[in-house]
Chains A and B, each alone.
Chain A
Amino acid sequence: MSVDPITARGDLRLTRITKSYGEFTAVDDLTLTIPKGSFFALLGPSGCGKTTTLRMVAGLEEPTVGSIHLGETDITTTRPYQRPINTVFQNYALFPHLTIFENIAFGLRRRGVKDVKERVDKVLTLVELPHLAQRKPTQLSGGQQQRIALARAIVNRPALLLLDEPLGALDLKLRRQMQIELKWIQREVGLTFVHVTHDQEEAMTMADTIAVMNEGKIEQMGTPADLYDDPETAFVANFLGQSNLIKGKIDGNDGDNVVIDLFGQKISMPKSRSHAVDNSLYAGIRPEKFRITRTGSQVRGNTLSGGHIEDVSYIGVSTQYVVAMPWGQELMVFEQNDDGVPPFNKGEEVVISWEPNFTFGLRGDEDIEAGMEVNPEQLDE
């Protein structure tokens, strides 16, 4: 029985998708399910395959291998205009020759929808720009164009809305505001949003579920909190926020915890948070999880002593320290300025401590630079 794909609804399933351009593999054997109604983010640096994945879902590219299903309908080879999927393009791609009203009405008119005026007016109200209906796109600011691009897509009530770096062209302040608005609109209209971005903060603010992509594969998938608190790879640990990764050896068990030797100092962490495969591992601690105390004071949890304050930057809500450890590594520590303790001085000897539960363990053979220092110029694909 053949079903018109345009009526397809349900979860989006990508099954063993590969996309190659000659020798280059952009997406490598990717399998992914995006539940209906979720706000899903594909996060990764430029060239990780996230945009290619999005374009395959939109129908603008065809996978070399694999299949795409929307609910029970196979849409792998369906033409873009026959898919119940709409896209908010990077740089918006509004039609410059049409008014804002006609831009938004474009999809409705193609499908012969009856109440065009009513639906366009309603969506213009939703994005709070009803007064701009008769303007041309070039007369609008970047933020306004962004909202119109969103309105043009959601007015069609698609099964799936794709957002390709939708906020990339906006300045920081506007981007923050739009992040909150997008999240609100998604809840309001109840559509499935698939959001592609290289901006980890943007993904974490908006998405229920994030898939971190690197070199055509998914590194890790989960809620923003899962990914941040318990990254499974060095790439995720570095790409989402900052991490201190310290080389160590597993030294034994202590109930549900493992004991780890970090350059002669013993610490412990929950077994469940260790992703090591053998005795060697990297112990990972986020900079804000550390506490700094003067040598000799009473501290709880894991401790590492013998550090010297190398650098102090006061940035208002917190003070950022660089602490040089005896084994030559420099650790980042963010301290909240909330306890009235005067900041430490450069050169002071200190002890670093943290809760064992905040530690995560990575495989000892990882490249600890992975996901770090992404060149900002590469980000604008």
Chain B
Amino acid sequence: MRATLGKVKTPYLLLFPGFAFLFIFFILPIINLAQTSTQTPIAGGDTGQNEQTFAFSNYINAFIENREQFGRSFIYATLATIFALAIAYPLAYAIAFKSGKFKNILLVLVVAPFFTSFLLRTIAWKQILGEEGFVVPTLRNLNLMGQSTTITSTSIAVVAGMTYNFLPFMTLPLYASLERIDPRTIEASGDLYANAITTFRRVTLPLSLPGVVAGTLLTFIPAAGDYVNAAILGSPNTKMIGNVIESRYFKIVDYPTAAALSFTLMAAILILVTLYIRKAGTEELV
């Protein structure tokens, strides 16, 4: 009898630490954030003193005021995801199928940037793309860039920084799903009259689709909420929604608007991701 009871309880006991952690550090803050998002400043109170007034208009005001930054966030995130996919797919393909004994070394190199902090790497990009770096003078000498144009403080720099920073998140799931493909299915495709291009289109690509979906999500979601790249590599003209939330919280100390923006961002990402997964067709995913 005791043994049966123990068996029933075991899964719950195992789940308890995870649930407790999520409750304290995710559920409670979310509830708190939801409350904050509908508060308004206390009349005559100090900065940051708010009272609950269920002002749902906060959401409308926050969105209308910052719709430009919202749009920019999703455009930049989409561009960074597309560029990361374009770079990571051939890379992951080469590692999975063509690298032979160098496979492990290449995988370590993909992960190597994580040994340095995200912030430091982004600051390094500022140096690389800056006036004293080698990119700008080289492009100017080759007459590919005007003498007075710069790269830093432009949207190019922000998208480039995001592409670079999220590249490993794209590469690793792609590698994992390409590596799982049975090479015999690729041989079978050749055997069944498909040339290399058709084989890629009809066999390799569809079989790697789970990796494409996972990689694009892991890149797009953090990229849409990112503010570090825009803050370090951009200018006021390249502000993303993350930068707005950051300044509302820490500079203007306007907690309700910051909270409402955070919720709007989460909802927007959730909707886009749901539509994307529907479109990508989970049924097609093996």
Q: Mark A335-346, 1 if CB is under 8 A from B, else 0.
A: 000000000000
Among the 9-residue stretches A39-47, A104-112, A237-245, the one with 4 or more Cβ atoms under 8 Å from chain B is A104-112
Bound-state CA distance A95–B195 (Å) is 16
B132 contacts A by Cβ under 8 Å: no
Closest-CB distance, B251 to chain A (whole angstroms): 50
- Nearest B residue to A113, CB-CB: B193
Bound-state CA distance A158–B209 (Å) is 32
Bound-state CA distance A60–B187 (Å) is 7
CB atoms of B207 and A97 under 8 A apart: yes
Q: Which residues of B contact A90 (CB under 8 A)?
A: 184
CB atoms of B193 and A95 under 8 A apart: no
A80 contacts B by Cβ under 8 Å: yes
Q: Which of A78-115 contact B (CB under 8 A)?
A: 79-81, 85-87, 89-91, 93-97, 106-107, 110-111
Q: Which residues of B contact A68 (CB under 8 A)?
A: none
A58 contacts B by Cβ under 8 Å: yes
Closest-CB distance, A75 to chain B (whole angstroms): 13
- Nearest B residue to A87, CB-CB: B191
Bound-state CA distance A60–B185 (Å) is 13
CB atoms of B182 and A110 under 8 A apart: no
- Nearest A residue to B187, CB-CB: A60
Q: A95-B203, A106-B189 are contacts. A81–B194 as well, Cβ < 8 Å?
A: yes
Q: Which of A323-364 contact B (CB under 8 A)?
A: none
Q: A96-B207, A96-B286, A97-B284 are contacts. A110–B198 as well, Cβ < 8 Å?
A: yes
A50 contacts B by Cβ under 8 Å: no
Q: A96-B286, A97-B207, A97-B284 are contacts. A91–B184 as well, Cβ < 8 Å?
A: yes
Q: Which residues of B contact A197 (CB under 8 A)?
A: none
Closest-CB distance, B285 to chain A (whole angstroms): 8
CB atoms of A80 and B185 under 8 A apart: no
CB atoms of B185 and A96 under 8 A apart: yes
CB atoms of B188 and A81 under 8 A apart: no
Closest-CB distance, B50 to chain A (whole angstroms): 53
CB atoms of B193 and A89 under 8 A apart: no
Q: Which residues of B contact A156 (CB under 8 A)?
A: 192-193
- Spell out A's residues near B (CB within 8 Å): 58-60, 79-81, 85-87, 89-91, 93-97, 106-107, 110-111, 138, 152, 156
A-B contact pairs, 16 of them (CB 8 A): A58-B191, A59-B190, A60-B190, A81-B190, A81-B195, A86-B191, A87-B188, A89-B188, A90-B184, A94-B185, A95-B189, A95-B203, A95-B207, A106-B202, A107-B193, A110-B194
New contact pairs (18) apart from A60-B187, A93-B184, CB-CB < 8 Å:
A79-B195, A81-B195, A87-B187, A87-B191, A91-B184, A93-B182, A93-B185, A95-B185, A96-B185, A97-B203, A97-B206, A97-B286, A106-B189, A107-B192, A107-B193, A110-B194, A138-B286, A156-B192
- Spell out B's residues near A (CB within 8 Å): 182, 184-185, 187-195, 198, 202-203, 206-207, 209, 284, 286
Give the 10 A-B residue pairs with the shortest CB-CB distance, closest first.
A93-B184, A107-B192, A110-B193, A93-B188, A80-B190, A97-B206, A81-B193, A87-B191, A96-B286, A106-B192
